[in-house]
Amino acid sequence: MVSVSRGSLLLTSLVLVACGDSQGSTDTAATAAESTGEATGTSEASGSETTSAPTTTGTVPTTGGTTEGAEDLRPNWHQDIAPLVTASCQSCHVPGGIAPFALTTYEEAKPWAGVMATDVAQGLMPPWHALETDVCQPPLPYLHDPRLSDDQKAMFQDWADLGAPEGDPALAAPLPPPPSLDLENPTKSITMTTPLTVDKVGNTLDFFHCLSLDPGNAAPVYVDGIQVLAGNPKIVHHVLIYVDAGADSASWPGGVKQNCGGGAGIGNAQLIGGWVPGGMPMVAPAGVSTELPAGARLILNVHYHATGGGPEEDSATGLALRWSDTAAQWSTFFTLIGAPGVGESLHGPLMIPAGEEAHVEEYEYIVPDNIPALADVRVWTVLNHMHKVGVDMRVWVENGSGETCLLHTPQWDFNWQRSYQYDAPITESFRVRAGDRVRLRCVYNNTMSNPGVVEMLAEAGLDAPVDVGLGEGTLDEMCLTGVGVAIKGSL
């Protein structure tokens, strides 16, 4: 077994954001702090812009901090806030991390107290886009859901309102152990073979380069764990992972296809996961694995975000994989539904006219009856995918017993695409049957009131909305969901 060296990787997965459930504690949440010290993924935000602390916190201590008894104020940093921030924020807000500033010490956190309170109250931080809404109540909780409870949000507000008291270090609450972003017991890690340099070109900071990686398995293997290794966390933004079963990408010179758009760079690759910085390794539920055929390649579509502060090189982005020579009881694959995927459009070809503020595209996929009658098929993870015009996306299943919502991402953010995995054993996950209708609904705002459109047009050197059709390019859109299903036995 090749072990993955800590420090140089950022891992992640289908699953993602590294925050435990933040209720405190022992969960994974905070590890990121440690493990990402030097090596965190990158995000849109990171870049080179340094963010300086606000000059006011909304509330400032009225006493200059020296009043007797100030240590007694609760909540205070040492007793209340630090453990929460360690668990919920430090997967990203650490020195060298993907967030634009660290939140590891009182001095670092204090100036941000007011903004922290507002951002957590609004659910902007920690970032998480799978929401329960009036039209979507998912059947199961999500794994690694980092969202804070109302009490925790209130604590941030109370702390800011009190003027962000430090409290007494001698009374400091124990900090939770930081969560690990590393895949346990990886079998192999594979990295890019040709370094890439990323720098601002014109107004463009964002580039999509596809990397073809050779896992080198001479016989089929069965993968149950995948971690994205961000070679240069300053520029590696989100990553989509594809299986190229026919090894078509083996012909790319140096294993790279530059500017490959939003897809895999070849026609028939299969999307199996998406990762954002700060994410956990993707680990399939117990008893579930996916076959990687002999000779197959893996393709990473890497969204590079130039820092704007000069060229940056990436020579080490890749994957850590864990596999076995024997298949697990359940085998998993991803069905890609929508555009471009299987299923029928309810409105004809995808076309989002310039200037439309709430354009809707819908797709329906009827689960075929070639699933043997007795086969047990379960949904364990779902990945929504649109580009920058998209604002809201929902996936649900309709059948004789009603409607089950799988995933709703109503505040779509291109920069935080990831897969959402359910927190349940495979036998308790949602069961799909032949004849079930999987429905997708994507909403697009193709006006300048959508910051994604403004960004997209700037990249293309345009200043007014254009008609947007289906495709992989900057000015194209998709309405695509990847549904990770596991089937007992084989089809």
Q: Give the footprint of ligand HEC on this chain (CB under 6 A).
A: 17, 19, 43, 45, 88-89, 91-93, 98-100, 112, 115-116, 119-120, 125-127, 278
Q: Which is nearer to ligand HEC, 31 or 290 (CB)?
A: 31
Q: Which is nearer to ligand HEC, 235 or 432 (CB)?
A: 235
Give the up-direction half-sphere exposure of residue 485: CA atoms within 13 A in the CB hemisphere.
Answer: 23
Collect all residues with Cβ–Cβ distance below 8 Å to 189 and sequence separation of at least 6. 2, 4, 229, 318, 319, 320, 321
Q: Which is nearer to ligand HEC, 103 or 479 (CB)?
A: 103
CB atoms within 10 A of CB 410: 16
> How far is 305 from 199, CA to CA, in rounded Å?
8
Minimum CB–partner distance for residue 197 and ligand HEC (Å): 23
- CA-CA-CA-CA torsion for 262, 129, 239, 140, nearest 10 degrees? -110
Minimum CB–partner distance for residue 92 and ligand HEC (Å): 3
Minimum CB–partner distance for residue 265 and ligand HEC (Å): 27
Q: Which is nearer to ligand HEC, 98 or 336 (CB)?
A: 98
Minimum CB–partner distance for residue 383 and ligand HEC (Å): 17
Q: Which is nearer to ligand HEC, 54 or 311 (CB)?
A: 54
Render the burial of 138-158: b for 16+ CB within 10 Å, e for the rest: beeebbbbbbbeeebbebbbe
Minimum CB–partner distance for residue 35 and ligand HEC (Å): 13
Collect all residues with Cβ–Cβ distance below 8 Å to 154 and sequence separation of at least 6. none
CA 251 to chain centre: 29
Q: Which is nearer to ligand HEC, 154 or 294 (CB)?
A: 154
Minimum CB–partner distance for residue 48 and ligand HEC (Å): 13
Q: Which is nearer to ligand HEC, 91 or 212 (CB)?
A: 91
Are 440 and 382 in contact, with CB atoms under 8 Å apart? no
Minimum CB–partner distance for residue 319 and ligand HEC (Å): 20
Are 229 and 10 in contact, with CB atoms under 8 Å apart? yes
Are 44 and 307 in contact, with CB atoms under 8 Å apart? no
Minimum CB–partner distance for residue 490 and ligand HEC (Å): 37
Q: How far is CA 323 from CA 118, 213, 288, 363, 487, in A?
A: 43, 16, 11, 34, 18
End-to-end CA distance of the chain: 31
Q: Which is nearer to ligand HEC, 100 or 261 (CB)?
A: 100
> How far is 281 from 275, CA to CA, in rounded Å?
9
CA 263 to chain centre: 16
The residue type found at 129 is H
Q: Which is nearer to ligand HEC, 15 or 371 (CB)?
A: 15
